[in-house]
Chain A
Amino acid sequence: MSLLKKSLKEIHNGWKNGDFTASDLLDASLKRIRETDGNLRAFLQVDEAGARRRAQALDQRSGEKGPLVGIPMGIKDNISTEGVATTAGSKILEGYTPLYHATVMDRLEQAGANLVGKMNMDEFGMGSSNENSGFHETHNPWDPERVPGGSSGGSAAAVAAGQVSFALGSDTGGSIRQPAAFCGVVGLKPTYGRVSRFGLIAFASSLDQIGPLTRNVEDAAYVLQAMAGHDPLDSTSADVEVPDYVSALTGNVKGIKAAVPKELMGDGIDSGVKDRVNQALEVLEDLGAVVEEVSLPHVEYAVATYYLLAPAEASSNLARYDGVRFGQRAAGENLIDMFSRTRSAGFGEEVKRRIMLGTYALSSGYYDAYYKKAQQVRTLIRRDFESIFDRYDVVVGPTTPTTAFKLGEKTKDPLTMYLNDICTIPVSLAGLPAVSVPCGLSDGLPVGLQIVGRPFAEAQVLQVAHAYEQHGERLPEPKLGGDTQ
């Protein structure tokens, strides 16, 4: 078995015993990338020289050895890495090299994790398939004709194929959970404010959150532990105590009350997905959880709400790409002309579409009808969840309405693509923590079980996911990235 298919705890034990070094772990990662990335194309960039240097330094490092020392990680390309090019999947940022680390990078390097490279993504996080990357498509390790999901598709595919032990993604409307579901890995979106966004290239600032994609739930707990907590550099990071996530993984869910929204198990959900989710719910019941059907009456409005609010915020955030201080510039006759030409040449089709939509929704005369209305419906969606959490501990259902779709299948019609986020978007609008954990295969493709918790209840969300993982269905290895002999 490849070293990188072991859990972080197993790797750490081997490392403590002196069975292998940080350099050995890096070698395993680079070997795997060479074997599989020609087909997968999960990486935008492999920083081999930098990773080698860091591995050697880690092998010299003495003293306290945490669980992440020497662990090869992939970082989504919208997370700033000092000295390592960062594009957010956009041509407009080609050649941009950050002068500082995102706070999550600082914290993970402090914990000893080793950056192997930057992962492909939909441009600025805008997409559900990685087909909107400004550079290339990434393929699903289970079926190369299918998408890995998005926007953290490169991160999910790399973890599924064992190229890295874990990866970071970011989630605005489902961008960690949906690719995790499509690729058969664990993906955790923390509560809004749990993890610092400093150094994350902004898409929609009231929704964006960084989180881990991992091979199992315990690994997600370790990575979250290293990243979580208040950061003075991000005024929206919450000053809320960080519990011990790993010790929450008791395997016990007796008496936990789980709500299943009937709106997320209805006609729009593929029957194969529903079957796997129902089976997972039975496992939770067998373990002593109380599972009951509930209603979230406003979730059917969530996608429309999101596709007004997120583009509005994006149109404002992306105003900074003007060809003056960083990134690409196109020649123009005067300043305004240069701005317009730079932005038109640098942004891809979906990004321009969302800038247009957001600019329109915020423009004079339409603000109340679209933007304010959507903000009000966002309040109603939050209240739906609040009233459920008065009576239940977690909300459970499918992560996605279908399994991974084919490359090119949804690119013609943006609305069809948007509707793929129907299960994840309501949770994002409410700012709640949620994990997607694999719950079996449908027609040979992974299905994700989404578990949502109260604000800052990541420990409980992980506890339920972990208990299910111990007793539920285990996935085989994907085709691409399965152990090659």
Chain B
Amino acid sequence: MAISKEQVEHVARLARLSLTDEEVRLYTGQLNDILQFAEKLNELDTEGVEPTSHVLPMANVLRADEKRPSLNREQALLNAPDQKDGMFRVPDVFEE
């Protein structure tokens, strides 16, 4: 087994997903299948091979730091699930 039930639960916490027991069981099995399939890559010797993160030969695309129009506060809040006094409102961040 490449990945245990405990690891699946840990990864779910990292990813901010609360999984049911049923989902944990399902994903443990399926992630193992997929990771086992991915083991195939170990057949290849990649020593010294440069990793590809991006196919285009470009880096550090810069532009002039100039003022441009952007969304105003009212527009930025239009899709908010909850808002108050011109701000996004969220549940408590700190415990009492």
Q: Is A326 close to B, CB under 8 A?
A: yes
- Whether A355 contacts B71 in the complex (CB less than 8 A), given A236-B58, A327-B79, A379-B49, comes out as no
**Nearest CB of B to A441, in Å:** 32
Q: Mark A353-364, 1 if CB is under 8 A from B, else 0.
A: 101110110010
Q: Is A96 close to B, CB under 8 A?
A: yes
CB pair B38–A360 under 8 Å, yes or no, is: no
Q: How many residues of A contact B (CB 8 A)?
A: 70
Closest B residue to A300 by beta carbon equals B40
- Whether A304 contacts B11 in the complex (CB less than 8 A), given A206-B54, A332-B91, A414-B30, comes out as no
What A residues does B35 contact at CB under 8 A?
A: 357, 360, 370
**Nearest CB of B to A326, in Å:** 4
| Docked CA distance A304–B27 (Å) | 18
What A residues does B15 contact at CB under 8 A?
A: 315, 343, 355-356, 359
Closest B residue to A419 by beta carbon equals B37
Determine chain A's interface SS by DSSP, over half rule.
helix
Q: For residues 28 through 63 of chain B, which have their beta carbon under 8 Å from a beta carbon of chain A?
A: 30-31, 33-35, 37-38, 40-44, 46, 49-56, 58, 61, 63
CB pair A377–B3 under 8 Å, yes or no, is: no
What B residues does A305 contact at CB under 8 A?
A: 41
- Whether A304 contacts B38 in the complex (CB less than 8 A), given A236-B58, A341-B18, comes out as yes
- Whether A382 contacts B55 in the complex (CB less than 8 A), given A304-B40, A325-B80, A334-B95, comes out as yes
What A residues does B17 contact at CB under 8 A?
A: 340, 343-344, 347, 352, 355-356
| Docked CA distance A305–B46 (Å) | 13
What B residues does A360 contact at CB under 8 A?
A: 3, 7, 11, 31, 35
Q: Is A323 close to B, CB under 8 A?
A: yes
CB pair A307–B34 under 8 Å, yes or no, is: yes
**Nearest CB of A to B77, in Å:** 9
CB pair B61–A352 under 8 Å, yes or no, is: no
| Docked CA distance A373–B41 (Å) | 7
Inter-chain contact total with CB atoms closer than 8 Å: 159
**Nearest CB of B to A399, in Å:** 21
Closest B residue to A333 by beta carbon equals B91
Closest A residue to B51 by beta carbon equals A375
What A residues does B93 contact at CB under 8 A?
A: 334-335
CB pair B53–A375 under 8 Å, yes or no, is: yes
| Docked CA distance A40–B17 (Å) | 33
Q: Is A278 close to B, CB under 8 A?
A: no
Q: Is B86 close to A, CB under 8 A?
A: no
CB pair B12–A356 under 8 Å, yes or no, is: yes
| Docked CA distance A336–B93 (Å) | 8
What A residues does B81 contact at CB under 8 A?
A: 323-324, 326-329
Given contact pairs A96-B79, A235-B61, enumerate 5 new A-B contacts (beta carbons under 8 Å): A308-B41, A324-B81, A352-B19, A352-B27, A363-B14
- Smallest CB-CB A-B distances: 3 pairs: A431-B55, A375-B51, A329-B81
Chain A interface residues toward B at CB < 8 A: 95-97, 99, 192-193, 206, 232, 235-236, 238, 298, 300-301, 303-305, 307-308, 315, 319, 322-329, 331-341, 343-344, 347, 352-353, 355-357, 359-360, 363, 370, 372-380, 382, 413-415, 418, 429-431, 455
* Selected A-B contacts with CB under 8 Å, 16 pairs: A97-B78, A99-B75, A193-B56, A303-B37, A304-B41, A308-B38, A327-B79, A338-B90, A359-B11, A363-B14, A374-B38, A376-B50, A378-B52, A382-B52, A430-B55, A455-B55
